């Protein structure tokens, strides 16, 4: 399982009638430069219904400028992504809000949080399994 996938797998289990979901998934970016905390609403993530996410990014070193965040998702086994384009906006408290997320079919999704600082983008990725 990839880094951070365990936390998200626990969150995804709740959508399958498993144990109660934790409040948030916390995971690192691929190169370890950022710690990302994601809260989905509603939680657990519903199948074929819109949801949104509140995202906090903690840089492990001082950023070069203002961070930007983009969120997307794909189903690698099916070679497609979401049927919608999510919109992410920076909030006054420094968090990011992503609206327009929708997982339209059951199966394994990869949720991508791309953090950009000074022209360099680093991806944090989680697996979400919906039944």
**Mean pLDDT, contiguous 10-residue spans, the chain (131 residues):** 42 38 82 97 94 97 94 97 96 97 97 96 95 89
Total number of domains in the chain: 1
- At 70-107, the pLDDT tens digits run 999 999 999 999 999 999 999 999 999 999 999 999 99
Domain range enclosing 64: 5-130
What pTM did the predictor assign?
Answer: 0.82
Q: Are 82 and 104 in contact (CB under 8 A)?
A: yes
Cα(40)–Cα(82) distance, rounded to whole angstroms? Answer: 16
Please report, for the domain that includes residue 27, its CATH number: 2.60.40.1930
């Amino acid at each position: 399982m990839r880094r951070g996938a365990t936390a998200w797998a626990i969150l995804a289990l709740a959508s399958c009638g498993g144990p109660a979901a934790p409040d948030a998934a916390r995971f690192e970016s691929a190169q370890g430069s950022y710690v990302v905390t994601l809260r989905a609403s509603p939680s657990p993530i519903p199948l074929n219904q819109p949801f949104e996410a509140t995202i906090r990014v903690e840089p492990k070193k001082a950023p070069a400028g203002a961070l930007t965040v983009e969120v997307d998702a794909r189903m690698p086994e099916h070679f497609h992504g979401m049927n919608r384009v999510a919109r992410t906006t920076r909030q006054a408290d420094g968090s990011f809000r992503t609206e327009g997320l929708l997982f339209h079919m059951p199966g394994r999704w990869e949720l991508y949080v791309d953090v950009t600082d000074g022209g360099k983008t680093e991806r944090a990725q989680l697996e979400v399994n919906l039944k």
